[in-house]
Structure 1
């Protein structure tokens, strides 16, 4: 009887918290040094981290943010990879194309890993830079070429989305596979943080994209339907990092006494994170709105999360002082990670530009 009960417990799916505690935390140092956490990401998928928002309901979207934040408390590299995976699932679940949707189940379960590929298109749609990919209609598909400088959560056979311009002035969105014919990846830079995120330059050399891999033939109409969720999902990274910084400060008992008069302590960080999560919950209830005013509100929320992450990591660094300035120090890692929250698309400068333009 006891053996049967033990077997049932052993076979029970693990929670996200279990994966973070047992699999992720012991590897944080290695991931920061450049190890891609493929096993952790697949385990998070098995724990249900990526399938919560498939149906698009507000509770599911908030659940995906919470799962990402839980990982982000320990490691932003992993939380960022989770966002890449979540965004891919978000596109596939909203696509009206049966061919693309056939990849949804594997992506939502973490069996198939992949990236977003929309950093350049999001900037292009804001007029910040030109669209990097170009395509032409050919038979039952498109012939595509171009170069994406940085796409994350990639590896051989990983899939990622891409938006490409067409001669008639429209844009289409498709699903590409790294390492397939005409689609190559290369590591051309080394970053100060998030080196373990599977970030590559993608070269697409006249690759053929069949209609079965098209997410949207009209990306101009599709993007407004996904952009609020795309940005809201990112808040999990910043909320998790802020809470992780607060936890780091709390665990440093001696340092906390000496730093008690710093302007931002762990209690204030946690209170702001809680208030921001409530705003995420409210925004999730209206994520389907396609008007610009709603998108600007989403961007304001994302901006506030970015600033909290920066301030929380800075506070942790100030508390640890010289101890945080040593190579391998967690306080310095969190500071480097927080800066990424502020520069990943849409970055703080991107968001502030959009807000300045107004509705």
Structure 2
């Protein structure tokens, strides 16, 4: 497996080259037309963008930091694509940590290379484990696996043929929860577009309707999600740092690139130098927190949530500063500053959202 991952990780192009030549020309279409950047994502996979955090020896957390940095490089130009990258990275993270070796053997190399795309699917589960909403999926044990039914309102980076993970409770043992890999795009696991967003329309976000779907024992990540979720949640949240850091740095770069606007905005309280300095300090915090991503104690997780909260505030403030510098030019349809502001609001809304984090921190 390690050799296969090393081969999948062999880059053919750099992340920077893919962003400059493939992604940036599509950013407006991704935002305005809801174009799903599938070709870009597959190129990022070819470049090793999804393998950085899963091809290292056990106990080596430097790959997690490298994955965050790659996501930041992408998110600086397009948060929609950076978010899809996070979805793919999160799926790979689950597979890496799987308590059952079969899903890891079956899917990990393809996910790491971008040959197999997929989503995270854990928004509902993370909220359910925090007591914010009930678990949406129910299952019952049958020969060779489980039968699962329910509805997940939002799963991203998922199309027919893609994978995603989800958690379901057992009907006859409601206190026992199971986490599994699901295959999207069948009558039993169907996708429906039930909502449209002000941004992130290109993220392939669908409602997933699960109707008595058979989930094989071979696709079970853990038969005890209550034990498994604490092992993966730190990495799940840390990986999102790539979106926040990238959003801030992208806003700072756009402000510097606007010479006349920068001169007139010299007295704004939050300029590009301050944005980059805060982003660098937060990146150092994330690097330290990533040193032991499998640490399961609550205090360590709360430290991660505090950093994630600070990243949300930084991204929002940076994007707002870019709009203030641009003035009326940044408030026009199609303006880059307006797009960044809408995208960055999503950084504060994606699970765990700002209100979710604040609720968790209030519990101590």
What range describes the TM-score normalised by the shorter chain of this pair?
over 0.9
Q: Does 1:99 align with 2:98?
A: no
Q: Does 1:134 align with 2:134?
A: no
Task: Give the CA deviation at 1:77.
Answer: 0.1
Q: CA RMSD in A?
A: 1.0
The residue number in structure 2 matching 1:76 is 79
Distance 1:136 1:64 in 2: 36
The residue number in structure 1 matching 2:26 is 27
The residue number in structure 1 matching 2:5 is none
Q: Does 1:87 align with 2:87?
A: no
The residue number in structure 2 matching 1:110 is 114
Distance 1:213 1:287 in 2: 24
Task: Give the CA deviation at 1:96.
Answer: 2.3
Q: Does 1:62 align with 2:65?
A: yes
What are the within-5 Å matches in structure 2 for residues 226-305 of structure 1? 226-305=232-311
Structure 2: gaps spanning 5 or more residues: 1-9
Q: Deviations over 1:213-243 (max 9, x none)?
A: 1111111111111000000000000100100
Which stretch has the larger CA shift, 211-220 or 141-150? Answer: 211-220
Q: Deviations over 1:42-97 (max 9, x none)?
A: 00000001101013622100000000000001000000000000000000011021
What are the within-5 Å matches in structure 2 for residues 188-207 of structure 1? 188-207=194-213
Distance 1:132 1:170 in 2: 14
The residue number in structure 2 matching 1:37 is 37
Q: Does 1:150 align with 2:154?
A: yes
Which stretch has the larger CA shift, 103-112 or 181-190? Answer: 181-190
Task: Give the CA deviation at 1:181.
Answer: 4.3
- TM-score w.r.t. structure 1 length? 0.96
Structure 1: gaps spanning 5 or more residues: 1-10
Task: Give the CA deviation at 1:40.
Answer: 0.2
For the Cα contact (< 8 Å) 2:11–2:48, is it kept in 1?
no
Distance 1:338 1:307 in 2: 10
The residue number in structure 2 matching 1:319 is 325
Structure 1 residues 325 and 91, CA gap change in structure 2 (3 angstroms):
same
Q: Does 1:165 align with 2:164?
A: no
Moved over 2 A (4+): none
Distance 1:74 1:119 in 2: 25
Secondary structure of the residue aligned to 1:205 is strand
